[in-house]
Structure 1
Amino acid sequence: MKHRLSILLLLVSYVTLACGQIVFPSPNQVEMKKGKLTLRKNISMYTADTTAFYISLLRSEVLRDTSVKWQSKASAAHICWMNDPSLPPEGYKISINPKQMTITASGERGFIYAVQTLRQWVSGPAGKLTFACADITDSPRMQWRCFLLDSGRQYQRISTIKKYIDMASLLKMNYFHWHLTEGLGWRIEIKRYPHLAQVGGSVGKAEEQHGFYTQEEIREVINYASQRNITIVPEIDMPGHAEAALSAHPELGCFGLPVEVPQQGFTQNIFCAGKDEVLTFLKNVLDEVCELFPSPYIHLGGDEAPKGNWNKCEDCQKRIAALNLKDGHDLQLWFSAQMANHLKQKGRKAIFWGDVVYQDGYPLPDNTVIQWWNYRGHKDLALRNA
């Protein structure tokens, strides 16, 4: 019985290899055909733009740097790139027969995703690349396909971040939520306030928690991601998870005192919402963030902001009384609205974690997006309230 089962598994494996390819995520439609396209040295290619990034990506990741000869006629090329404005912006078609491969898209984003599919479709060593014949039609089912990297708690090298971006693009993700500030580290250089990164980037105890990204490095990562059809959404957490920032600028807290940086979790030390100079400081930070990041969305955190200090702070209590707010949570909603309105003036949308809508209170502006996260703690409360 075991012998028969082994034979059956081998036959199934052979059929899978012979009749289909595994691509993740699965394309919308794949029609397998007989035969295969084999490309050797001096591959010929037809394209309207030999300098496009997707061409270089195909040559490095699919053709494995095999030499290419450019053709002026599509019919004479092994690989042919064609534009079709009727296709969705991120959609593409790949048609492979034993003589030619034709890649069709309406623009650069679709061509990038076609290359990512071909990276998983190709087999064989350089000099003898093989593609199973098929017609592939694909476009994303979800507009927002995102991954998050927490660089606040753990500093990563630029080379490591680029590897994550490569993997995300291979999986056809198009947003990168970059968590850049945290109690354990402020990772983004702010030219106007250099101590934020110089001091706040090294408050963690472990060596791998030390470091920050210069604006030049951030631009490099933004460009790298953009080439691969990924928009970076930066997160600058406020008012909570601010211990690293308060280590550099204690005056931004309620009492202006040195703070303890937690190695886990968070403390009562958050940005003071009662001082006008704190709001001005954070708006200046957001000005530089917006200059760096072209993303239409800027994430402002808003989670896990305990109100113990605000409840004792004269400035915060004066603000609550002057605005006729109910409590510290209402004050956070007011604070969040000030920041969101500042982004609105720049044509940006503000994202907050669901914590800001656990209770009703001061109204948030219409450029606000709520990100639901804490089902364990609050079930679907944030989702329903949002």
Structure 2
Amino acid sequence: MLYRRFGKTNLLLSVFSLGTMRCLASLSDAQATVEAAMATPARGIAKGINHLETARGYAKSEEYLGKILKGDFPRSQFYITTKIPPTPDPDLMSQWIDESLERLEVDYIDCLAIHGINTWEHLAWIKSPNGCIKPIKEALASGKVRHLGFSTHAPLEVIIAAINTDLFQFVNLHYYYFFQHNLPAVELAHQKDMGILIISPADKGGKLYTPPPKLEELSYPFSPLELNYRFLLSDSRITTISIGPANPDELIAPLAVADRDEPLTSIEIEAFRRLETQAENALVTDRCSQCYKCLPCPENINIPEVLRLRNLTVAYDMNDYGKYRYQMFENAGHWFPGVKGNRCTNCGDCLPRCPEELDIPKLLLDTHARLNGSPRRRLWE
């Protein structure tokens, strides 16, 4: 296992962090179930993972993690990050911090992340000097919290603005081979010496643990998941990559590359070139370049994200992933903003701004026909 400095926190974190949502959030209160769930973080810690993350919003994940860790592992052997949502109410934030400490059964939280600075309103709550930042600063001063950061699913401009507040020591964000739009945020965070944690590269990065045959063939001799991990590990600006195993077996793939952060090899580069060539050949003149110049949409359609899902579906047969993400539109609030492609009124507002001169209304409806289905329940609901 390799370790990297988590920006200005100066913590040395394992290049893989263990997220506990999938292994703990849906547990029952049965003691046997909790004991069985212990196997996953125990295996991860034994293999060198020293950073575990959870969140107030992940059902009883904090409580179960506290039970699992209490007495079984020296506190000095691992770091804990928990995530608490933004709020305009400072008293509520103070209460939530104390509740997290109690549930985790710890005297201090290594890293507190504001969970989901996803909108300009959320950012305004944080920037207000008498808002929720006040009790957070008090917790930092008293030692209840050691380091402050934020997690985000926001548009890039909100992420950049949050980083530029200089309130935070680290950021948790989405960035993968199949979603590189947040690269400017990675670059800025690195310039500001912030720790950078990548969220859910296996799942949000493309459901790469169950790739379609076409994607497997194009990635050979690597798995798509291995390629994505190597894409991230080879970038020295990234500190750690969050994995969310449901069981110990799901640790096998990341641990297999946990000591490989060298530059991409020629064989890996060739695999990425095959992926790029396939996208060019499959999409031809219908490929969205993800420039985001089509926004804003009068109907609040997240056009680039809709067309990104179409790109992946058409180029790589990533239908399951496309449906999984597309069905979140109109069902996940600020965590996945925007409406579905069938809301397009053919107003034409986006057309003059598209450098590829795409027939955007037609492609939006085509994406809807390919990917629409029944909405899925979020894991912790």
Task: Pick the structure with more helix per residue.
Answer: 2
- TM-score scaled by structure 1? 0.30
- TM-score scaled by structure 2? 0.31
Bigger radius of gyration among the two: 1
- Relative contact order, CA 8 A, sep 6+: which one is greater? 2
Task: Pick the structure with more strand per residue.
Answer: 1
